[in-house]
Amino acid sequence: MVHSQRILDTGWTLSCARPVGAPNLPQSIPAKVPGTVHTDLLAARLIPNPYLDLNEIAVDWVGRCDWRYELAFDWHDQSAGTVELVCPGLDTFAQLVLNGAIIGETANMNREYRFDLGGLLRDGANTLSILFESAWTRGEALAKQYEPRPNNYPGPANLMRKMACNFGWDWGPTLVTAGIWKPMRIESWSRARIAQLRPEVTLQGAAGKVRIHAEIDGQGEGMSLRASVAGVTATQPIGQGALDLTVPSPQLWWPHGLGSQPLYTLDVELLDESGAVTDSWSRQIGFRSLRLDTSADDVGTAFNFIINDVPVYICGANWIPDDCFLPRVTPERYAARILQAKQANINMLRVWGGGIYETDAFYEACDKAGMLVWQDFLFACAAYPEEGDLPAEIEAEARDNIVRLMPYPSLVLWNGNNENIWGWFDWGWQDVLEGRTWGKGYYLDLLPRLVAELDPTRPYWAGSPYSGTMDIHPNDPAHGCSHVWDVWNDVGYEHYADSVPRFCSEFGWQAPPTWATLTQSVHDQPMTPTSPGVWHHQKATIGNDKLLRGLSGHLPTPTNMDDWHYATQLNQARAIRFGIEHWRSHRGLNMGAIVWQLNDCWPVTSWSAVDGYGRLKPLWYALRAAYHPHLLTIQPRGEELHLFAVNERTLFWRGPVTVKRLRFDGTVLAEWTHWRLCADRLDVASLAIPSHVATPGNPREELLVATMHDSVAHHWFAEDVELDLPEARADLSITRDDADWLVTVTAHSLLKDLCLFVDRIHPEASVDDMLVTLLPGETRTLRVQCAVELNAAMLCQTPVFRCANQLR
């Protein structure tokens, strides 16, 4: 019999099995699968939207109840050999009952379970029931089983295999979910099936190599495996080892910006003795070489991704779950968010260890977009026991996901954990643990062994941050990958310039979401930075205090809500751009920056560039500029100012460069042209700016402007609080261009960091550029998408029209 399957996605009901603190509820309600308890209750209008105002607190009871999903279905295929219930995503502690008989239990939302239904299925009507125990309840039992382990956040996430940020984070709400979050199915097969298939895809010279390792369930003797890719086919009897295919001169898969992303369909079939196909497997793969250079040098230890023998500078962003309710993140939403990353010149997303292994749709979209993926194993900011049932669950989870994700060419790193090795060194864990386990065995033994066994083509790194050895501090900037959080937490963003990490895999700065998102989710009257709803949507400890402290020395202290919103968003954008440009000017020593974070899971004040409703904050535009493949930036080197041309293209970048020192009224005070600045491909070039240009007469009213082709760099001799910025004066004109509006801004004074916040006019309006600096007489045309009629009077009014000149 050919392998067949039936998706169980309709006809489910949901009921409360243990109503802890619950209001009166109907006996049952319709359930959507895949889905969550929260989203079903929302659809039934039994709870308020937890993303609005303070409703998160009002729905806390949902996570403390037990819940039952039930499905009545008919079954008539009694000729099937083996019949299994396949559960790729049950969240988290579940007991499954078919027709009154327990068929199995689960304790891990991150792995697939299979349950044999043999002898339990009836011809005709059947009932499947899944009882989900509250993770809070199970957490109480686990806390009694395990001695205390440090955890940076409330909740028992480190004692179980559930998405850690479900229990709240410094950007996320506490919404403890339960439910069937991935599609369930019944699979039927006879004799044998492909249980596991691992394709190792490599390059050998110009040839592409595919080595296929297959595990077969059942009686595979006498059967064969047939594989084909790119017109090459090979067949081999089961039991004779790996099946190899050689593809002559395939097109290479590249990160975007360096080449194209050709994908080849790899088809694998299980054949019986007659040649009939009894099971099959198909994925798209890409051919590329990969290594992580961690060699020692005169400074310390490198951390450099080499793709197709090319050292790639990583312009990255950290990725968190895009919604607290995971099934709401559709393939279309993944593709849209990854496109936003790509358009910001981001070439790597780090899937952070406090979330999930994303669904296949995420990695498929990354493959197509040329977006590199750094994948954390799911450990974050806590000590994890290495006793009891946890190690077996962790191994099963790791095996499952390594095998599932290894076909994707975008995946370039397996990382052991987020900040746990750092925590053991610096966060007082050693005294608290008193010799108890904390996860070291996972990061330094189990996980590297599993990667070496299952996916030897990819590098493994034990943690982020990690120096490469327990003999060197994990956050030593001279070694491996580092996190830079003292800047946001303790000092001003100018301190990004204090060091040059070999690779910075986390750093960030906070700001509120867009105005449209803020007002869509918070309805305080009046709305202030500390009004109840705004305050509730700020999850970081003393986060608002840090926002204001971060303005000190840079921007004036805001005195109203509109100024607070703009100033903090502007400061976030400037802080991150400052750090990235500093590090990129040291290209070679530093080979990557991964900002915290690209996205949000709900509407919140956070470190994101794209807010919880998918809208772009000013930071997104700053990232697009700071990560541009042709970056022109002015940076200090000792007592001098230098101009740096950073080139991430595969062709050299050369041309005349002009640096002018100007007064804010546009008067040229000094000028210098170098007629042939040349930055080699994937390299950086620099020039010292002559002192007569680089030295201001009056730093309060002068700036430097450097131009090279279409690239422009500005350098200010003082912070805004010390600048004599003029009153902002400009004219705006508007014309139609098909469905868009073209807004031409003509500056009559210096305009510093001009933004048009068109979402103040219509919540779905957007603009193609922000943070634009114009000199007197210069113009810039901005493209606006807006569903309502626009006019200049709308656009020129504060708070739609904003620039730094207005902050006083």
Least confident of 32-46, 145-159, 507-521: 145-159
Q: Are 606 and 600 in contact (CB under 8 A)?
A: yes
291 located within any domain: no
Residue 10, number of CB atoms within 10 A of its CB: 11
Q: Is 260 in the same domain as 275?
A: yes
Kindly give the residue spans of alpha helices, DSSP state H, lying in 585-617.
none
Q: Is 455 in the same domain as 342?
A: yes
Mean pLDDT of 165-169: 97
Q: Among candidates 93, 465, 102, 153, which has minimal Cα distance to 303?
A: 465
In this predicted structure, the answer to whether residue 79 has a pLDDT above a threshold of 80 is no
Mean pLDDT of 29-51: 98
All residues at 6 or more sequence positions from 63 whose CB lies less than 8 Å from its CB, including other chains:
134, 135, 136, 174, 175, 176, 177, 178
Q: Is 458 in the same domain as 372?
A: yes
**Quick one: pLDDT at residue 80?**
66
Whether cis (ω within 30° of 0) applies to the bond prior to 532 is no
Confidence of residue 1 (pLDDT cuts 50, 70, 90): very low
Counting residues of the chain whose pLDDT is more than 70, the rounded percentage is: 99
3-class DSSP assignment, residue 77: coil
**Quick one: pLDDT at residue 78?**
67
d(CA 782, CA 800): 14
**Quick one: pLDDT at residue 43?**
98
CATH code for the domain of 71: 2.60.120.260
Q: Hey, what are 258's tokens?
A: 């360096």
Mean pLDDT of 287-312: 98
Of the residues 665, 697, 722, which one is the last residue of a structural domain? 722
**CA angle, residues 494, 496, 502, in degrees to nearest 5:** 165
Mean pLDDT of the chain: 97
**Quick one: pLDDT at residue 389?**
95
Of the residues 285, 315, 332, which one is the last residue of a structural domain? 285
Mean pLDDT of 658-687: 96
**Quick one: pLDDT at residue 532?**
97
Q: What is the 3-state secondary structure (H, E, C) of 416-432?
A: CCECHHHHHHHCCHHHH
Amino acid (one-letter) located at 758: V
CA dihedral 50, 53, 54, 59 (to 10 degrees): -20
DSSP string for 724-764: -PPPP-EEEEEEEETTEEEEEEEESS-EEEEEE-GGGT-TT
Strand ordering across the sheet containing 232-237: 232-237, 224-229, 264-271, 277-285
d(CA 517, CA 324): 16
Q: Are 2 and 192 in contact (CB under 8 A)?
A: no
294 located within any domain: no
d(CA 131, CA 127): 13
Q: Is 367 in the same domain as 338?
A: yes
Counting residues of the chain whose pLDDT is more than 90, the rounded percentage is: 97
Q: Can you tell me which residue has the tokens 């030295």? A: 695
Domain of 199? 191-285
Q: Is 529 in the same domain as 471?
A: yes
pLDDT (tens digit, 9 = 90+) per residue, 381-398?
999 999 999 999 999 999
Q: Is 380 in the same domain as 304?
A: yes
Q: Is 538 in the same domain as 639?
A: no
Of the residues 140, 170, 187, which one is the last residue of a structural domain? 187
d(CA 323, CA 140): 26
Mean pLDDT of 70-84: 88
Q: Is 646 in the same domain as 697?
A: yes
**CA angle, residues 133, 135, 137, in degrees to nearest 5:** 75
Q: How far is CA 379 from the centre of its chain?
A: 15
All residues at 6 or more sequence positions from 141 whose CB lies less than 8 Å from its CB, including other chains:
none
Mean pLDDT of 747-763: 98
Would you call 765 exposed, middle or buried from its count of C-beta atoms within 10 A (0-12, 13-18, 19+)?
Answer: buried
Q: Is 115 in the same domain as 33?
A: yes
148 located within any domain: yes
Q: Hey, what are 172's tokens?
A: 């996320």
Confidence of residue 113 (pLDDT cuts 50, 70, 90): very high
Q: Is 15 in the same domain as 99?
A: yes
In this predicted structure, the answer to whether residue 597 has a pLDDT above a threshold of 90 is yes
d(CA 600, CA 766): 19
Q: Hey, what are 484's tokens?
A: 């830079």
Q: Are 242 and 220 in contact (CB under 8 A)?
A: no
Q: Are 752 and 726 in contact (CB under 8 A)?
A: no
Amino acid (one-letter) located at 747: A
What does DSSP assign to residue 590?
B
Number of domains forming the structure of the chain: 5
292 located within any domain: no
Catalytic: 719? Answer: no
Q: How far is CA 797 from the centre of its chain?
A: 35
CATH code for the domain of 447: 3.20.20.80
d(CA 320, CA 341): 13
Confidence of residue 742 (pLDDT cuts 50, 70, 90): very high
d(CA 794, CA 791): 6
pLDDT (tens digit, 9 = 90+) per residue, 242-281?
999 999 999 999 999 999 999 999 999 999 999 999 999 9
Confidence of residue 538 (pLDDT cuts 50, 70, 90): very high
**Quick one: pLDDT at residue 249?**
95
* Residue tagged active-site, from 187, 269, 364, 419: 419
**Quick one: pLDDT at residue 4?**
84
What pairing do the DSSP bridges indicate for beta strands 348-351 and 314-319?
parallel
Q: Is 676 in the same domain as 737?
A: no
Radius of gyration of the chain from its Cα atoms, rounded to whole angstroms? 28
Amino acid (one-letter) located at 171: W
d(CA 161, CA 391): 10
CATH code for the domain of 260: 2.60.40.10
DSSP string for 210-237: EEEEEEEEE--TT-EEEEEETTEEEEEE
Q: Among candidates 80, 106, 89, which has minimal Cα distance to 3?
A: 80
Q: Among candidates 336, 325, 245, which has minimal Cα distance to 287?
A: 245
In this predicted structure, the answer to whether residue 148 has a pLDDT above a threshold of 90 is no
744 located within any domain: yes
In this predicted structure, the answer to whether residue 629 has a pLDDT above a threshold of 80 is yes
Q: Is 146 in the same domain as 235?
A: no
